[in-house]
Amino acid sequence: MQNEAGLPLAGITVIELAQNLAGPFCGDILGQLGADVIKVERPGGGDDARGWGPPVHGDTATTFMAVNKGKRSITLDLKDEASLAWLKEAIGEADVVVQNLRPGAAAELGLGPDDLLAINPRLVYATLSAFGAVGPKAMDPGYEPILQGFSGMMMMNGEDGGPPTRVGMQVLDLGTGLWAALGVVAAIHRRTATGKGGTVDASLLETALGWMSCHFAGYSVTGRPPRRHLSGNPNTVVFQAFETATKPIMIAAANDRLFARLCQVLGCPDAGSDPRFASNRLRVENKPALLARLEPILAGAPCETWIERLEAAKIPCGPINDMRTMDQEPQVAALGIIQPLPDRPVRTVHLPLSLDGERLRPRGSVPAAGEHTAEIRVRGVKG
């Protein structure tokens, strides 16, 4: 594990006025990069996500644990004038504020970017919202499934002609936290040259639109929404899951050379020379006919057999794991990305990056609500 002083954001203090997922994940990223993240929670329960269970460990939801590792927690009643005054004074010493309060709430409390940058011109102020900082819905609240639907993302998943389907992971919450953290790091870097802080805005809607950028480029040319392809890809064939005699396999023969090699492995070289399948564009146009050739062959042998043969031919492929079988994969274990928390038997996924060949890890466990209140109020945010 990296020496704390050698982490990129060592010495940076972050005040996190955030709950649920997007804002706390931004704080989680900054914390694992070395920042001291002080999580401000409401008295009498703290972050709502603490109760987002089951599953739970003790009285805390595992969802909360996943994005609040290594932080210090303080409880403050922001309706109390003395507590609010103390917080503003503390922010005057901080480097970063991350907030995803109800739209308009920060400004009502005197905690908006203009208020706090006047107190601390070096402050980097990050706001995470549902619909974005401007526009007719800027003041509307929203959660992950609302924005997956609003953005059009749900209509891109599932079976063609079937009902809208939600992406199972919190791709917008976590993605927005990621973009906000990237913006914060960029603003800190700029501050080293200018001496001035600034604002960062990220939203679930903008994250959704960003993830759909490749599909939207096609729509802008054709005027047609993309078709849904289950495990497949609308632009590449062969690039999807197939049933085998045991369990599904994912095959990605993403160019003409790999496709020809795939046909050799499957024992149907004539498909590789068929003029209907001579290029990716033709394979996309004639996808049903091609799948009708390949599916019965792949169904005739176990997944493990196909993986052995395909890997020997250097054709990208892999099993379709569930959570249990993924957790048993030697490759996942080798990465060291999944680790138990220091003080409880809850395993979490750490940041998906390493620095200087070492995995970034949180410096502590998940705090209880308000666990560090006395410490921070006495010593200050810079401790």
Say if residue 225's pLDDT is above 90. no
CA atoms of 308 and 328, how far apart (whole Å)? 18
Joined tokens for residue 23: 């804002």
Tens of pLDDT, residue by residue over 276-312, are 999 999 999 999 999 999 999 999 999 999 999 999 9
Say if residue 221's pLDDT is above 80. yes
Of the three residues 319, 342, 361, the one that is the final residue of a domain is 319
Check which CATH number belongs to the domain holding 98 and give it: 3.40.50.10540
Kindly state the helix (H) or strand (E) to which residue 60 belongs, with its residue range.
Answer: strand 60-61
Instruction: Tell me if 231 is assigned to some domain.
Output: no
Claim to verify: residue 137 and residue 271 sit in the same structural domain: no
CA atoms of 120 and 92, how far apart (whole Å)? 5
Instruction: Tell me if 226 is assigned to some domain.
Output: no
Instruction: Tell me if 127 is assigned to some domain.
Output: yes
Q: Is the Cβ–Cβ distance between 155 and 165 less than 8 Å?
A: no
CA 364 to centroid of chain Cα atoms:
21
Burial letters 17-28, b for 16+ CB under 10 A, else e? bbbbbbbbbbbb
Q: Is the Cβ–Cβ distance between 202 and 176 less than 8 Å?
A: yes
Claim to verify: residue 10 and residue 104 sit in the same structural domain: yes
pLDDT band per the 50, 70, 90 thresholds, residue 171: very high
Instruction: Tell me if 122 is assigned to some domain.
Output: yes
Instruction: Tell me if 118 is assigned to some domain.
Output: yes
pLDDT band per the 50, 70, 90 thresholds, residue 1: very low
Span 320-335, mean pLDDT? 92
Instruction: Tell me if 232 is assigned to some domain.
Output: no
Residue 139 backbone zone (phi > 0: left; psi -120 to 50: alpha; other: beta): alpha
Strands 249-252 and 239-242 turn out to be antiparallel
Tens of pLDDT, residue by residue over 12-52, are 999 999 999 999 999 999 999 999 999 999 999 899 999 99
Say if residue 202's pLDDT is above 90. yes
Three-state secondary structure call for residue 248: coil
**DSSP 8-state code for residue 228:** P
Claim to verify: residue 30 and residue 60 sit in the same structural domain: yes
What does pLDDT average to over the chain? 93
Claim to verify: residue 280 and residue 346 sit in the same structural domain: no
Catalytic residue among 173, 201, 322, 327: 173
Tens of pLDDT, residue by residue over 355-366, are 999 888 887 889
Claim to verify: residue 144 and residue 55 sit in the same structural domain: yes
Angle (CA) 379-102-371 rounded to 5° is 30
Claim to verify: residue 248 and residue 373 sit in the same structural domain: no
Check which CATH number belongs to the domain holding 283 and give it: 3.30.1540.10
The pLDDT assigned to 3 comes to 56
Claim to verify: residue 300 and residue 153 sit in the same structural domain: no
CA atoms of 176 and 130, how far apart (whole Å)? 9
Say if residue 2's pLDDT is above 70. no
**95: annotated active-site residue:** no
CA atoms of 107 and 88, how far apart (whole Å)? 13
Instruction: Tell me if 289 is assigned to some domain.
Output: yes
Q: Which domain holds residue 272?
A: 239-319
Say if residue 268's pLDDT is above 90. yes
Say if residue 136's pLDDT is above 60. yes
Q: Is the Cβ–Cβ distance between 209 and 216 less than 8 Å?
A: yes
Say if residue 158's pLDDT is above 90. no
Claim to verify: residue 313 and residue 347 sit in the same structural domain: no
Instruction: Tell me if 301 is assigned to some domain.
Output: yes
- 324: how many CB neighbours lie within 10 A of its CB? 7
Domain count, the chain: 2
Say if residue 198's pLDDT is above 80. yes
Claim to verify: residue 338 and residue 302 sit in the same structural domain: no
Claim to verify: residue 180 and residue 126 sit in the same structural domain: yes
Claim to verify: residue 179 and residue 246 sit in the same structural domain: no
Span 345-360, mean pLDDT? 89
Claim to verify: residue 38 and residue 158 sit in the same structural domain: yes
Tens of pLDDT, residue by residue over 177-188, are 999 999 999 999
The pLDDT assigned to 298 comes to 97
Of the three residues 319, 343, 361, the one that is the final residue of a domain is 319
The pLDDT assigned to 342 comes to 85
Span 159-163, mean pLDDT? 83
Of the three residues 319, 347, 370, the one that is the final residue of a domain is 319
Q: Is the Cβ–Cβ distance between 320 and 247 less than 8 Å?
A: yes
